[in-house]
Amino acid sequence: MSDKTSEKSPFCILPWIHSFVNSNGNYQVCCTSEEHHIAITDNDGKPFNIKDQPTQDQIMNSDFMKKIRKDMLQGKWNKVCTRCLVTELADGVSRREIENKSYDDIIVSTVLTTRPDGTIPVKYKSIDYRLGNLCNLQCRMCGPHSSNAWLKDWNKVKPDSEKMNDTRRIELENYDWIEKDYLFLEFQKKLEHCEHLHFAGGEPLITPQMSRMLKYCIDNDYAKNITLTYNTNLTKLPEPVLELWKYFKSIRLLCSIDGFGKVNEYVRHPAKWDVIDRNLTYLDDNASKYHIDEILLSCTVQIYNILELPDLYNYLKKFKVIVPALNLINLHIPNYLQSSVLPEEAKLIANKRLGEFYTKLKEELPENRKYMAESIHEVLNFMNQKTDPALLKSFMDINTKMDSFKAQSLQESIPELYDLVVKNLPNS
């Protein structure tokens, strides 16, 4: 462990107050551990899954969770928390840091309820669901685990190492747990102390079970105490859902948008930019009507878009309510889409372009948002890592297959990136 690592505190409030159910029904510590697919397990190593209807005490006071809490209190980084550690070591702001700041007023009192063996009384302040993989987009960095739109086409474009076998395909086609009564019984039991309810996907705004959950909160007088948050691709904005938002304490939206105009259309196919722009404008104009107190564009930084980020920042200037900065998240998987795969010539351009934009952004942002400019340093630090040069060829080979399949063109949609990649391909 490096000196820099040992200086970082591993403590996070979430293992005391948070419930996260992933799209396959597995319970996990939080969504930041999602990409590593590390489920909370029982003492036999079997993942806790909502289909088996475990009690919340069985989950939260399993040996798995007790060890995480004890590790944190003893200053040890658990492997589940790797993503937050990597983010912090790259000078970014991690989920751990954000949650600790949000719940700063209860950290001491909550930790004091912990018994020596790590057992706690289960009182959820924060609840998070991925209600299956229903989605209307086929994003290039995504997959069938989070989007059923990928199911029939995944094996046509992916290398053998990523292809699904029949067993996995059938599993991903049948996320039927979201249709079962036990989901709603489980949800109801977790609401007594809930202050934050989050949905992602799939695409949560088109998931019927999400609306049913909101109605339950409204009908049983929980909604007024709950801040409701979403990750959404914002291609759909159903009026019945908007009407339900009016009953909640507040609404916060993380809009998953990965570039301006053609760049977003290319990465998040078949999204249409005019639809997204129209929906963002509508929300910006009607935020107070629907109790929306924050709208933030969340951008997954990857090889496709890191050179184009200033265009997306500049686009935000036209809005009144939407935060004029981006929530930047480095893509880690698949590795051939990481920004670090870029050739050195492209990295020099990105460093210069974003370095200059950082200075400008710091001057323009309001005082309470200036910290968001610092994430530019994190994405550049991540991009500047050395990677295997062969990954650039892997990117181009797989991307060419996707282009052919989707009837898209990297050369037409993101010409600068295309030229830089072709020019710097190994052995070219």
Q: For residue range 253-296, what is the model confidence (pLDDT) as tens digits?
A: 999 999 999 999 999 999 999 999 999 999 999 999 999 999 99
pLDDT digits (tens, 9 = 90+) for 213-234: 999 999 999 999 999 999 999 9
pLDDT digits (tens, 9 = 90+) for 110-149: 999 999 999 999 999 999 999 999 999 999 999 999 999 9
Beta-strand runs (E) in 233-361: 250-256, 292-301, 326-330
> How many other C-beta atoms lie within 10 A of the C-beta of residue 45?
8
Percent with pLDDT over 70 in the chain: 97
The confidence band for 1, taking pLDDT boundaries of 50, 70 and 90, is very low
Predicted local confidence at residue 3, as pLDDT: 47
Mean pLDDT on 347-354: 97
Residues 6+ apart with CB under 8 A from 210: 129, 131, 199, 204, 241
Q: What is the C-alpha separation between 393 and 398, in angstroms, rounded?
A: 9
Q: What is the C-alpha separation between 131 and 10, in angstroms, rounded?
A: 29
Contact 146, 135 (CB under 8 A): yes
Predicted local confidence at residue 113, as pLDDT: 96
Predicted local confidence at residue 2, as pLDDT: 44
Predicted local confidence at residue 37, as pLDDT: 67
**Helix or strand (DSSP H, E) at 128:** strand 126-130
Residues 6+ apart with CB under 8 A from 249: 223, 224, 225, 226, 227, 228, 291
Q: What is the C-alpha separation between 92 and 381, in angstroms, rounded?
A: 9
Strand 326-330 vs strand 126-130: parallel, antiparallel, or unpaired?
unpaired
What are the φ/ψ torsions at residue 304 (nearest 5 degrees)? Answer: -70, -35
Predicted local confidence at residue 412, as pLDDT: 98
Assess whether the previous peptide bond of 334 is cis (omega < 30° from 0): yes
Q: Greatest CA separation found in the chain?
A: 65
Mean pLDDT on 34-42: 78
Q: What is the C-alpha separation between 182 and 186, in angstroms, rounded?
A: 6
Predicted local confidence at residue 88, as pLDDT: 87
Mean pLDDT on 165-190: 95
169 CA to centre of own chain:
23
Contact 297, 284 (CB under 8 A): no
**Helix or strand (DSSP H, E) at 18:** strand 18-21
Computed on alpha carbons and rounded to an integer, the radius of gyration of the chain in Å comes to: 22
Q: What is the C-alpha separation between 48 and 178, in angstroms, rounded?
A: 16
Predicted local confidence at residue 408, as pLDDT: 97
- Chain mean pLDDT for the chain: 94
The confidence band for 92, taking pLDDT boundaries of 50, 70 and 90, is confident
Predicted local confidence at residue 201, as pLDDT: 85
pLDDT digits (tens, 9 = 90+) for 296-327: 999 999 999 999 999 999 999 999 999 999 99
Strand 126-130 vs strand 196-200: parallel, antiparallel, or unpaired?
parallel
Mean pLDDT on 69-81: 95
Residue from 231, 235, 204, 186 nearest 58 by CA: 186
